[in-house]
Amino acid sequence: MKVAHVYKDVYPPVAGGIEKHIDGIRRGMPDVESDVIVCSRSRLTSVHTVGTGVEVRVGELGRLLSTPLAPGFPGRLRSLRADVFHLHMPNPLGELSTLAALRGRPIVASYHADIVRQRRLNPVYLPLQRACLRRAGAVVVGSLSLLRTSPALAGMAERAEHVPYGVDLTRFDPERVNAEDREALRRRYGTPLVVALGRLVHYKGVDQLIAAASSLDASVVIAGGGPLEGHLRDLARSEPRVHLLGSVPEADLPLLLAAADLFVLPSVNRAESFGIATIEAQAMGVPAVVTDVGTGTVEAIAPGETGVVVPAGDPMALAGAISALLTDPDRRRTMGEAARRRVLAKHSQNDQVSRLKAIYGRVIASSG
pLDDT (tens digit per residue) in 276-294: 999 999 999 999 999 999 9
Cβ partners under 8 Å of residue 118, min gap 6 = 65, 66, 125
For CA atoms 75, 79, 84, 86, give the dihedral sign: negative
Average pLDDT of the segment spanning 189-203: 96
CATH of region 2-166+348-367, choose from 3.40.50.720, 1.10.579.10, 3.40.50.2000, 3.40.50.10490: 3.40.50.2000
CA 243 from chain centre, in angstroms, equals: 22
DSSP structure string for 152-205: GGTT-TTTEEE----B-TTTS-GGGS-HHHHHHHHHHH-SSEEEEES---GGG-
Q: Based on C-alpha coordinates, what's the Rg of the chain?
A: 20
Can you give the pLDDT at residue 353?
97
The per-residue pLDDT for range 338-347, each reduced to its tens digit, is 999 999 999 9
pLDDT at residue 368 is higher than 80: no
Question: What's the pLDDT at 129?
Answer: 97
Q: Which CATH architecture has domain 174-346?
A: 3-Layer(aba) Sandwich (3.40)
Whether residue 298 contacts residue 272, with contact meaning beta carbons closer than 8 Å, is answered with: no
pLDDT of residue 362: 98
pTM: predicted TM-score of the whole model, two decimal places: 0.94
Where are the CATH 3.40.50.2000 domain residues in the chain? 2-166+348-367, 174-346
What's the pLDDT score for residue 116? 84
Q: Which pLDDT tens digit goes with each residue over 49-93?
A: 999 999 999 999 999 989 999 999 999 999 999 999 999 999 999
| pLDDT tens per residue across span 109-141 | 999 999 987 778 788 999 999 999 999 999 999
- Distant-in-sequence, close-in-space partners of 205: CB < 8 Å, separation ≥ 6: 266, 267, 268, 291, 312, 313
Q: What is the mean pLDDT of the chain?
A: 96
**The predicted structure's pLDDT at residue 243:** 98
What pLDDT is stored for residue 118 in this prediction?
77
